[in-house]
Amino acid sequence: MRHMLNPLDFSVEEIDRLLALATDIEHNPSKYAHVCDGKKLATLFYEPSTRTRLSFESAMLNLGGSVLGFSSADSSSAAKGESVADTIRVISCYADIAAMRHPKEGAALVASQYSRIPVINAGDGGHQHPTQTLTDLLTIRSLTGRLRDMTVGLCGDLKFGRTVHSLINAMVRYPGIRFVLISPDELRVPSYIHEDVLKANHVEFEEVNNLDEAMSKLDILYMTRVQRERFFNEDDYIRLKDSYILDKKKMKLAKKDMFVLHPLPRVNEISTEVDKDPRAAYFKQVQYGVYVRMALIMTLLEVEKPC
């Protein structure tokens, strides 16, 4: 039985197959409408979410399956003190596959060790968010036609942003990927990403403060929200929250074929005036997230691809 806890749980070839399946789903949705008939997905969300939870639910419903679950720790037995290990043992009796979001790093890993069903990490604290990464990879590949030889700018909260950590982890495996890491000094990537992922893989990267100066080099700009809930002190959050605001003026500095991605939710970091720019891809990205989660559910449940 397989789980999806970290993007590296799948080889580059497996990710290629998954993205190809997601693209086939995009083009032929009706073919897949019943492949998960009778199967159940449990969504175990101990932390707020709109997109990820509903995207998983939509994905399972599109495949003909059904969904059960909870959307906050308060409404689950966690409020009574139940451990993740016990909860997943129980859920294993109710569902065929589970997607879990939890504020603690490693929670999904613990769940997988006690589970009888595949566990998908839907975000564990400031650590990883592999299904957002699959979404990002599918978006980049669909829009640019490639997952290699490009400069990716990651901007905002690179310290606490788990989507950033997962995306770097996944993208260092493709040839010719360069990163420009744009953040205030306090919000740079954690040292395990800096040392064990970027340096260890001899990836070309630079850490800068200034977004304007970086703009013209980028093929992809991945904007992120400053992660208020992971700050220890509100004053720091207030000081840093509007460090970067992407607006029309900044977009003028970018390549004509650069794309802007954002895992959402957006707060202030992308001005709504950018939404109309054809390079703004963050709402398309949401749609790709459904296709890729459909492909992931099918893969983990070992559902045959219909002819």
Tell me whether residue 37 or residue 186 sits nearer to ligand NCD (CB atom). Answer: 186
**Residues binding ligand NCD: number (CB under 6 A):** 11
- For tokens 């893969």, name the residue: 299
Q: How far is the CB of 134 from ligand NCD (least distance, A)?
A: 12
**51 is a site residue for ligand NCD (CB under 6 A):** yes
Let me know if 176 is exposed, middle or buried by CB neighbors in 10 A (0-12, 13-18, 19+): exposed
**132 is a site residue for ligand NCD (CB under 6 A):** yes
Active site residues: 51-52, 80, 101, 129
CA distances from 198 to 89, 125, 149, 270 (A): 37, 21, 16, 27
Residue 295 and residue 281: Cα distance in Å, rounded?
A: 21
**263 is a site residue for ligand NCD (CB under 6 A):** yes
Which of 283, 277, 286 lies closest to 250, judged by CA?
277
**127 is a site residue for ligand NCD (CB under 6 A):** no
CA distances from 148 to 144, 186, 273 (A): 10, 30, 30
Tell me whether residue 162 or residue 293 sits nearer to ligand NCD (CB atom). Answer: 162
Sole window of 3-11, 113-121, 200-208, 260-268 interacting with ligand NCD (rule: CB under 6 A): 260-268
Please report how the helices 130-144 and 162-171 are oriented relative to each other, as an axis angle in degrees rounded to 10: 60
Q: Which residue is nearest to ligand NCD (CB)?
A: 263
**129 is a site residue for ligand NCD (CB under 6 A):** yes
Positions in the binding site for ligand NCD (CB under 6 A): 51-52, 123, 129, 132, 162-163, 225, 263-265
